[in-house]
């Protein structure tokens, strides 16, 4: 009897392992993704942890930045205190830092086992890439107007929190959809999303579970699934996967040196909201494209008007500063952040301190990847500190 029981148990375990093993492994990997000892390596090895797309091929004509010598300033001013720049770059677990000025590379450095060839997860910096592609699709008349309701193109979202919500409101994170993006809260929607995907739930099915809590276009609240729904829109109107449209319209045109890839779900859908993985140099090129008002070597890649609208806070709920109309002190455009005070620079930003910072006044682009395991405990502090660092670097370059 005991022998029969052990044989039966072994068979059951094999069956469970076959059908549920990958899900259990992904759940384990997800729970350890931000572990202090592993986080830096995890962020450049996402393809070994999650399902990922085929590679986005590098450009056939890679662009190499002209290099000039520049030394970082020793200190920067933050919250009335003089802070040591190198110490804080280490504190925030900087993995890579690149600084461009007027299209020339002034600085490039890597830490925590990162290399120039490392493909680092962008997290929500991915959202700004998606926005650029939406702008191109509008210019190509694949989308009639961003004032259109999303359900004009995605009728399967009727009856969900996105029914009747305009594409513009979704781009501006003003969908009115109820959402909790607190990574430190195990019960938050963003963590619920991660667990659901690890268990095999598709991005699309998860997005359809969300409900409306506010009138669209009246309140700015960061909802990562908003961007995922825009990804569904782009795939629908272009008739191709996100990675293919990205390669055709941007990657191949601005001299991206390296390949890239997206996290995908079990259906092969790309994680538009935060799943792009690429090298620091190629993130910097995307920043240079926007600094150039969407133009690259004489070719208009992203419509100039779209670039301008991307950091235009055109509603009271989108303006920087503490407000009852927003859950964030930073302003917001079309999937780009406007830190404010002054409102002249803007940034793509991802959790754990990923950035593509652009200052049109000084012609500066700063791309930064990080693996800051302290992020959930010091989120707003770390964001403000990074803006202070970036602005200090821009000022130092401009003065010299």
pLDDT of residue 199: 87
pLDDT of residue 32: 82
Bridge partners of 354, per DSSP, are 350
Number of domains in the chain: 1
What does pTM read for this prediction?
0.93
> Is residue 31 in a domain?
no
> Is residue 32 in a domain?
no
Closest CA to 365 of 345, 381, 382, 379: 345
For 176-216, write each residue's pLDDT tens digit. Answer: 999 998 888 889 999 999 888 888 999 999 999 999 999 99
Domain membership of residue 385 as a residue range: 39-399
Which residues, other chains included, contact 321 with Cβ-Cβ below 8 Å and sequence gap of 6+? 329, 331, 340, 341
Out of 6-10, 92-96, 289-293, 308-312, least confident range: 6-10
> Is residue 326 in a domain?
yes
pLDDT of residue 305: 98
Which residues, other chains included, contact 209 with Cβ-Cβ below 8 Å and sequence gap of 6+? 160
The mean pLDDT of 109-118, rounded to a whole number, is 98
> Is residue 173 in a domain?
yes
Bridge partners of 266, per DSSP, are none
> Is residue 96 in a domain?
yes
pLDDT band at 16 (very low <50, low <70, confident <90, very high): very low
Q: Residue 185: which CATH number?
A: 3.40.710.10
CB 355 within 8 A of CB 125: yes
Average pLDDT, the chain: 93
| The pair of three-digit structure tokens given for residue 143, joined into one six-digit string | 């989308």
> Is residue 25 in a domain?
no
The mean pLDDT of 312-332, rounded to a whole number, is 97
CB 365 within 8 A of CB 138: no
> Is residue 10 in a domain?
no
> Is residue 268 in a domain?
yes
The mean pLDDT of 76-102, rounded to a whole number, is 98
Closest CA to 122 of 55, 56, 30, 43: 43
């Amino acid at each position: 009897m005991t022998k029969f029981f052990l044989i039966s148990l072994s068979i059951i375990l094999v069956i469970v392992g076959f059908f549920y093993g990958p899900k259990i492994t992904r759940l384990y990997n997800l729970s350890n993704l931000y572990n202090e000892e592993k986080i830096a390596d995890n962020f450049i090895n996402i393809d070994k942890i999650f399902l990922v797309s085929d590679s986005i091929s590098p450009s056939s004509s890679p662009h190499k930045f002209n290099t000039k010598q520049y030394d970082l300033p020793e200190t920067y001013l933050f919250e009335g205190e003089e802070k040591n720049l190198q110490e804080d770059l280490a504190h925030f677990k900087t993995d890579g830092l690149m600084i461009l000025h007027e299209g020339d590379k002034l600085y490039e450095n890597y830490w925590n086992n990162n290399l120039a060839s490392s493909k680092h997860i962008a997290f929500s910096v991915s959202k700004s890439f998606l926005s650029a592609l939406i702008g191109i699709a509008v210019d190509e008349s694949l989308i009639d107007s961003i004032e259109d309701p999303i359900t004009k193109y995605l009728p399967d979202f009727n009856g969900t929190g996105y029914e009747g919500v305009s594409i513009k409101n979704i781009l501006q994170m003003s969908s009115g959809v109820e959402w909790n993006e607190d990574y430190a809260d195990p019960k938050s929607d963003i963590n619920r999303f991660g667990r659901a995907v690890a268990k095999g739930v598709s991005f699309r099915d998860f997005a359809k579970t969300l409900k409306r809590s506010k009138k669209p276009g009246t309140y700015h609240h960061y909802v990562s699934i908003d961007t995922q729904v825009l990804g569904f829109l782009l795939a629908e109107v272009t008739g191709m996967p996100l990675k293919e449209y990205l390669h055709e319209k941007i990657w191949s045109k601005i001299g991206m040196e390296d390949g890239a890839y997206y996290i995908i779900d079990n259906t092969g859908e790309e994680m538009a909201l935060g799943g792009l993985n690429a090298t620091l140099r190629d993130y910097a090129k995307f920043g240079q494209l926007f600094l150039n008002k969407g133009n690259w070597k004489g070719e208009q890649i992203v419509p100039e008007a779209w670039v301008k609208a991307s950091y235009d806070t055109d509603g009271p709920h989108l303006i920087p500063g503490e407000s009852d109309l927003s859950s964030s002190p930073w302003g917001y455009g079309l999937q780009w952040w406007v830190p404010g005070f002054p409102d002249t620079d803007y940034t793509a930003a991802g959790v754990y301190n990923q950035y593509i910072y652009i200052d049109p006044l000084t012609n500066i682009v700063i791309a930064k990847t990080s693996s800051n395991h302290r992020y959930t405990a010091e989120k707003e502090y770390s964001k403000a500190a990074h803006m202070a660092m970036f602005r200090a670097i821009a000022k130092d370059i401009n003065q010299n």
